[in-house]
Amino acid sequence: MPKRGRLRVFLGAAPGVGKTFSMLEEGKRLLGDGRDVVIAVVESHGRAQTAALTAGLPELARTTLTHRGVELDEMDLDAVLDRHPGIALVDELAHTNVPGSRHEKRWQDVEELLANGIDVISTLNVQHIESLNDVVEQITGVPQQETVPDSFLRAADELELVDIAPQSLRVRLAEGFVYPAERIDAALSHYFRLGNLTALRELALVWLADEVDEALKGYRAEHGIEGTWEARERVVVALTGGPEGETLLRRGARIAARTSGGELLAVHVTSQDGLRTAGPDVLAQQRALVEKLNGSYHQVVGEDVPSALVEFARSVNGTQLVLGASRRGRLAAALTGPGIGATVVRESGDIDVHMVNHAAAARRFRLPRGRGALTAKRRVLGFVVAVLGGPALTYLLSLSRSPDSITSDVLSYQLLTVVVALVGGIWPALFAAVLSGLTLDFFFIEPIYTVHIHEPLHLLALALYVVIASLVSIIVDRAARHTRAAKRSAAESELIQTIAGSVLRGDDAAQALADRTREAFQLAAVRVLHESPEADASHVDGADHDAARDSSRQPERVIAEAGDPETSSGAVSGAVSEVTRIRLGEHAVLELHGEPLAASEQRLLSVVVAQLSAAIAHQELEQTAKEIEPIAASDRVRGALLSALSHDLRRPLAAATAAVGGLRAAGPRLSGEDRVELLDTADESLASLGTLLTDLLDVSRLQGGVMSIAELPTDPAEAIAPALDELGLGPGEVRLALGHGEARAAADPVLLQRVLVNLLANAWRHSPAGTPIVISTSVFAGTLEVRVIDHGPGVPEEKFDDIFVPFQRLGDTDNDTGLGLGLALSRGFVEAMHGTLRPEDTPGGGLTMVVSLAVTPEAGRA
């Protein structure tokens, strides 16, 4: 069995970063060192520099396969195996082989080479990594069909990132080093946008950093290294769910920020039974703060909190642990022993521990509340058992009383005390303990029928009764508290799950919340009301029935309603219904009709209130957006009208006025030739003016809602040709690169022509003499784009928005020149067709105006 070969992969963020170049340079270096290197397959994609670099490297011939009548070249796997070089250069690891090949994917070919003891050097782009495929599609809009499994890639012996700044890659692309000239503009505008390249580069860096982390963990595990390696600071903040969490998180973030690449991790330890829980609202707020601080939130389960914290810190290679100072006072610490902080310090080893003081630290000792978790009914039942059980037990024991029965008598009364504690808790148990002690002394301890404690042991027995009763009742109370907490948590989870399910199914969020709230708290009715801004805030958050019903003083609109508030009186358990009002945001109120909620239910209610506030805020934003949309559309059209009136109408009107004025002033002194010239000028100007007025009237009708734009399947070529004719531009002045094929745009042909006339006029005005304007079309992700490209002086990126402002000429005062002529009108027309008009820098200098319109379904028809 040959020794498995080694795999080295050059990873890049995008095509063109230089992966293949680096692979070939490394191959030449190894060949110069005397290693046996051959090229198994290299894809140059027509790049002369890449092809030239293959010179001097032995290259194996490819095999030819036929698929659907087309001959295609593939790597000859058998030839490589027969040659059995020391190192094989295999380009494009994610490549899909031609059907009929031995393996479907090229990475599977590489796996066979490695299994036969051949070292492989290969290349891969980050978009072809299986786990990142969906993320890359969201960023670029381009689905990737060719992927490599993460498991195969992470098993590589060496991963090397070939990195280049996104701006430099765009320059390389614009200079023709990546794609041929006809693909450059579309590539720069789509896949190779600066934002896309930056995001892909970050993905590659993060994925490779995770791989380095995994390799480091593997090495530490392989060599049994348990100590912390401070390759970078990882600050772990322990959260208890208390108010000190915000202070600890900010302190931890400052510690992490002191070193480059520091990482913040927050962890909360929950008990295995799920009963020892902190406030979910507090933890939710602290989790949101962690995300704002660019940290990560983790929740682990462990019964021993200090051990769980230290174990988590070691598992993530944490270097710092941030804990809050104990909230226990000195007396509590002395009674219960060392706390979590002291135990963590003792067990942390080489992890630095920071004990941070806070406002809640070392609070004064307070006695526990007398009211336990048991219900009043159970406490009363405990007293009944003590009162009835004591005499009954005394009667039974007196029937068999003897000098030797004292032990069984004592144990019997002790059992009674335990039973009372189990039933009623601490107070009935203490009552039963004292009563049992007195009964024992009176009926069974000499001298009988007297209450006289003359033996210290008898006093000790009474004290033991009290202690046992207290301990048992505390355990019972805690068990009842945990049971209640578990039931409450289950109910809360079920309620939130039901609400989420209702919203996901498409139900109205506010109505679903109102329905579930009424059911969960057994209320007669629940209403969510919208108040007018003039509503008196003093009527909220109380139980003022008159104010709740006084619509004249406080006009309200019902957003959601569950139950009937008018018939809610006495609807719940025969009690008189009360109205509780809770404010939701600025203009909404939650009305609860029914008995006031207990304190234990207020916690769940706060969660519902928060959900309702968010749902109503979302509804208000949607409503505002709907109200603003027609206003915004009207403003766009109005802006277009003002722009047209400002310069498109002024010029023909001035020309016609000047021509008619000249005819009138000169009179018979004009020659026949001059008269004809002035008449032609007036005629042309008035015809142009009539055309503009017709267009403006159509737009006015559109603005008034009496005319709709005819969005028809439009071939951009049918709008480009008449626009060129109108401007008189010929083949030497315009170069066409139409790549939309059979695609059709959803557009109004007349308005699209008007837009192109304005854009072409601007481009021609600012293009250098002898340099043609380029008109290109392309289809990408359901969008058809028309690009008007000039190579003039261009516009600074920070002034892109200014060129669409009416009357804005960026400092030009000549009416015949300047940027921005007609652009406000053009943008208004394009947006009215549900498209966009945006400027871009032209590679090499100049301005590119991009009209983006939706592709119609007819585009796919022959």
Task: Give yes or no: residues 384 and 349 share one domain.
Answer: no
Looking at the DSSP bridge assignments, the partners of residue 41 are: 90
Task: Give yes or no: residues 109 and 157 share one domain.
Answer: yes
Q: According to the model, what pLDDT value does residue 750 have?
A: 84
* Residue 237 near residue 289 (C-beta atoms within 8 A): no
Q: Which of 182, 201, 222 is the last residue of a domain?
A: 222
Tokens for 497?
A: 């799950």
pLDDT surpassing 80 at residue 848: yes
Residue 332 lies in a domain: yes
The mean pLDDT value for 501-512 works out to: 62
Q: How many domains does the chain have?
A: 4
Q: According to the model, what pLDDT value does residue 569 have?
A: 46
The mean pLDDT value for 844-858 works out to: 87
Q: What is the pLDDT of residues 577-609, one digit of tens each?
A: 678 888 877 778 888 888 877 665 666 677 777
pLDDT surpassing 70 at residue 123: yes
Q: According to the model, what pLDDT value does residue 287 have?
A: 84
The boundaries of the domain holding residue 199 are 7-222
Task: Give yes or no: residues 351 and 403 share one domain.
Answer: no
* Residue 725 near residue 756 (C-beta atoms within 8 A): no
Helix and strand numbers, DSSP H then E, in the chain:
26, 23
Q: According to the model, what pLDDT value does residue 454 have?
A: 65
Q: What is the pLDDT of residues 31-73, one digit of tens each?
A: 999 999 999 999 887 778 888 888 889 999 989 888 777 888 8
Residue 516 lies in a domain: no
Task: Give yes or no: residues 302 and 193 share one domain.
Answer: no
Angle between helices 456-504 and 599-643 (to 10 degrees): 30
The mean pLDDT value for 310-327 works out to: 83
Residues 93 and 126: their CA atoms lie apart, in Å, by 11
Tokens for 687?
A: 């015809």
Q: According to the model, what pLDDT value does residue 367 have?
A: 39
Positive or negative: CA dihedral 839, 844, 846, 851: negative
DSSP string, 59-105: BPPPEEEEETTEEEEE--HHHHHHH--SEEEE--TTPBPPTTSSSSB
3-state secondary structure of 355: strand
Q: Which of 479, 501, 532 is the last residue of a domain?
A: 479
Query: Which letter does DSSP use for residue 213 in this model?
Result: H
3-state secondary structure of 489: helix
Tokens 């706390």 correspond to: 339
Confidence of residue 313 (pLDDT cuts 50, 70, 90): confident
3-state secondary structure of 578: strand
Q: According to the model, what pLDDT value does residue 570 have?
A: 43
CATH code, domain carrying 751: 3.30.565.10
Q: Which of 196, 222, 248 is the last residue of a domain?
A: 222
Task: Give yes or no: residues 248 and 268 share one domain.
Answer: yes
- CA-CA-CA-CA dihedral for 552, 553, 554, 556, to nearest 10: 0
Confidence of residue 537 (pLDDT cuts 50, 70, 90): very low
Q: According to the model, what pLDDT value does residue 819 have?
A: 35
pLDDT surpassing 90 at residue 294: no
Q: According to the model, what pLDDT value does residue 502 have?
A: 53
CATH code, domain carrying 302: 3.40.50.620
Residue 815 lies in a domain: yes
Q: According to the model, what pLDDT value does residue 117 have?
A: 93
Task: Give yes or no: residues 34 and 165 share one domain.
Answer: yes
Q: According to the model, what pLDDT value does residue 327 have?
A: 56
Q: According to the model, what pLDDT value does residue 494 have?
A: 63
Residue 125 lies in a domain: yes
Looking at the DSSP bridge assignments, the partners of residue 840 are: 848
pLDDT surpassing 60 at residue 299: yes
Q: What is the pLDDT of residues 236-269, one digit of tens each?
A: 999 887 878 888 888 888 888 776 567 899 998 8
**Higher confidence at residue 474 or residue 523?**
523
Residues 524 and 562: their CA atoms lie apart, in Å, by 8
The single-letter code of the amino acid at 239 is L
pLDDT surpassing 60 at residue 347: yes
Q: According to the model, what pLDDT value does residue 408 have?
A: 83
Task: Give yes or no: residues 134 and 218 share one domain.
Answer: yes
Highest-pLDDT range among 298-302, 310-314, 570-574: 310-314
Residues 433 and 752: their CA atoms lie apart, in Å, by 95
Task: Give yes or no: residues 400 and 298 share one domain.
Answer: no
Residue 497 lies in a domain: no
Helix (H) or strand (E) segment spanning residue 161: strand 158-162
Q: According to the model, what pLDDT value does residue 811 have?
A: 47
pLDDT surpassing 60 at residue 215: no
Q: According to the model, what pLDDT value does residue 107 have?
A: 93
* 558, 588, 635 from 626: Cα distances, Å: 20, 20, 15
Name every residue whose Cβ is closer than 8 Å to that of residue 748 and which is 6 or more positions away in sequence: 709, 710, 711, 712, 714, 829, 833
3-state secondary structure of 836: strand
Helix (H) or strand (E) segment spanning residue 322: strand 320-324
**348-384 b/e with 16+ CB inside 10 Å = b?**
beebbbeebebeeeeeeeeeeeeebbbeeebbebbbe
Task: Give yes or no: residues 240 and 266 share one domain.
Answer: yes
Torsion angles phi and psi, residue 389, rounded to 5: -70, -35
Task: Give yes or no: residues 89 and 156 share one domain.
Answer: yes
CATH code, domain carrying 101: 3.40.50.300
pLDDT surpassing 60 at residue 847: yes
Confidence of residue 698 (pLDDT cuts 50, 70, 90): low
Residue 526 lies in a domain: no
Of the ranges 327-336, 625-634, 682-691, which one carries the lowest mean pLDDT score? 327-336
Task: Give yes or no: residues 89 and 111 share one domain.
Answer: yes
Q: How many CA atoms lie within 13 A of 407 on its CB side?
A: 1
Residue 537 lies in a domain: no
Q: According to the model, what pLDDT value does residue 24 have?
A: 93
pLDDT surpassing 90 at residue 435: no
Percent of residues, the chain, with pLDDT higher than 70: 73
Q: According to the model, what pLDDT value does residue 818 have?
A: 36
* 587, 637, 693 from 705: Cα distances, Å: 32, 12, 18
DSSP string, 718-760: HHHHHHHHHHT--TTTEEEEE--TT--EEE-HHHHHHHHHHHH
Confidence of residue 538 (pLDDT cuts 50, 70, 90): very low
The mean pLDDT value for 343-367 works out to: 70
Q: What angle do CA 232, 236, 240 make, to 5 degrees?
A: 175
Torsional class of 16: left (φ above 0), alpha (ψ -120 to 50), beta (otherwise)? left
Residue 65 lies in a domain: yes
Task: Give yes or no: residues 78 and 204 share one domain.
Answer: yes
Mean pLDDT over each residue of the chain, to the nearest integer: 76
- Rg of the chain over all Cα atoms, to the nearest angstrom: 41
The mean pLDDT value for 295-301 works out to: 83
Q: Which of 316, 159, 325, 365 is nearest to 244 (CA)?
A: 325
